[in-house]
A and B are shown apart, each in its own frame.
Chain A
Amino acid sequence: MDLTQQPRLAAAWPWISTLARLGLAAVFLIAGGLKVTDLAASARAVNAYDLMSYDTAKVIGAVQPFLEIALGLLLLIGIATRLSAAIAAVLLVIFIAGIISAWARGLQIDCGCFSKGGELTGGRTAQYGLDIARDVGFLALAGILLWKPKSKFSVDGLLMGDR
């Protein structure tokens, strides 16, 4: 049983990693793409977390969407996959920490993950639990790539001469 399972699983990993890679790429491309069109709103979303001065929030809010899109593209083509996944994981941990801190301080904000965020008014309640669960799911995708970075249709594979 094991003897027949092992090679099959070994053959499946690159495909699993490919799905994880493309999924994570989509997450970052969408998140960045939604924010890049309105950097002022992105700055306000960062500012809503109330963790830094508005001037700092402005810079983070402007840089973050471009960084997310770049990382998404790098994951999409699959170059230095392990490093890209590590950077994605670090970003996701920072985002999760930000949401937890907002939750702990009792702020009522929209996380701004896939939106331009801001304070919630008029009876909309924050969905911190769901936001965190979603980000942890993305973190798991990054984890798969950190563990098994080899994937199909990647620049890495091309350069390493994998078939």
Chain B
Amino acid sequence: MSKGNRGRDRAAAQRIVEQQKAAERRRQVTIWTSAGVVAVLVIAGLIGWAVLAGQEKKTDASAVSTPSVAVDDGTAFAVGTGPVTVDIYEDFMCPICHSFEQQTGPTIAQMVTDKKVTVRYHPVSILDRASNGTEYSTRSAGAAAAAAVDGKFLEYHNVLFENQPAEGSDGLDNAKLIELGQSVGLGDTFATAVNEGTYKSWATKTTETFASRGFNGTPTIVVNGKQVEGPGNTLPTTEIFTQAVTAAAG
């Protein structure tokens, strides 16, 4: 009888010990897995940091060939000699930029002719994701820089918008970019620059500058340092744009 009792007691004690052991094991597992999770996240963050540092190197001043004709910290190409400065940030893949060119382009051209404005075109590449990995935005911006070096920026800029590929398509390939260049009188040096992607890193850097100035969308239109927009972040009409230029001219 007493023996049976002792056996039961021992079994119960053993059960308690086992439960404690299991609880201790669970605690240990929780501590170690938590430490593992924190470590993995820290490492992931550091990888991000390292990748960023690697990309920054690519847009270092030493690694970028900036066209000598570029103005405004080497980010833009100037057209005209008027007193009012108009900065236009455009992506050649951006349909609304195309609309702006169709809508207001002639007015701007007239203002340039009348020596009212100096237009600084900033080709930026914020829509690389919209060309199936061919980076059309960067390639076309780089091609425009090459055209500027050979003195044909505006002509090439216009022909790029006239032949704008659909957003989400592959964009135009380099051969087509070169062919369009030939149509406005660009030659072999231009073709080489497009094929070798000479100014692609320049386009990336220009886009960096654009973002660092706090701009996010294209087209961004700035008249004498003031951004011009229609109501509710919309594209300014030609009228709104003209008013801004008139006001800036004083």
Contact = CB atoms under 8 A, between A and B. Distances in A.
Nearest to B210: A44
B129 A80 contact: no
Contact of B216 (A44, A62, A87): A44
A94 interface: no
Nearest to A155: B33
A119 B55 contact: no
B126 interface: yes
Interface stretch (B152-160, B175-183, B184-192, B230-238): B230-238
B41 A80 contact: no
Contacts of B34: 80, 83
Contacts, number: 112
Nearest to B128: A38
Interface in A35-86: 37-41, 43-44, 47-48, 50, 54-55, 58-59, 62-67, 69-71, 73-74, 79-80, 83-84
Given A40-B204, A54-B212, A121-B218, A80 B51 contact: no
A62 B49 contact: yes
Contact of A38 (B52, B99, B129, B233): B129
A135 interface: no
A64 B29 contact: no
B216 A48 contact: yes
A41 B55 CA distance: 13
Contacts of A108: 232-233
B30 A80 contact: yes
B211 to A, nearest CB: 5
B115 to A, nearest CB: 30
B106 interface: no
Interface string A141-163: 00000000000000110011100
A64 to B, nearest CB: 7
Contact of B26 (A38, A39, A160): A160
B216 A119 contact: yes
A125 B37 CA distance: 38
Contacts of B33: 79-80, 83, 155-156, 159
A87 B41 CA distance: 10
Contacts of B204: 40
B96 A121 contact: yes
Contacts of B66: none
Nearest to A83: B34
A12 B85 CA distance: 68
Interface of A: 37-41, 43-44, 47-48, 50, 54-55, 58-59, 62-67, 69-71, 73-74, 79-80, 83-84, 87, 108-109, 116, 118-123, 155-156, 159-161
7 contacts: A47-B211, A47-B216, A54-B214, A62-B52, A74-B41, A80-B34, A156-B29
Given A66-B45, A122-B95, 20 more contacts: A39-B48, A39-B51, A39-B52, A40-B204, A40-B207, A43-B211, A47-B214, A48-B216, A54-B214, A59-B49, A62-B51, A67-B44, A67-B45, A74-B37, A79-B33, A87-B37, A87-B41, A118-B217, A121-B218, A122-B235
| Nearest 7 CB-CB pairings of A with B | A119-B216, A70-B44, A119-B217, A62-B52, A66-B48, A122-B96, A63-B48
Interface of B: 22, 25-26, 29-30, 33-34, 36-38, 40-41, 43-45, 47-49, 51-52, 55, 95-96, 99, 126, 128-129, 204, 207-208, 211-212, 214-219, 232-235
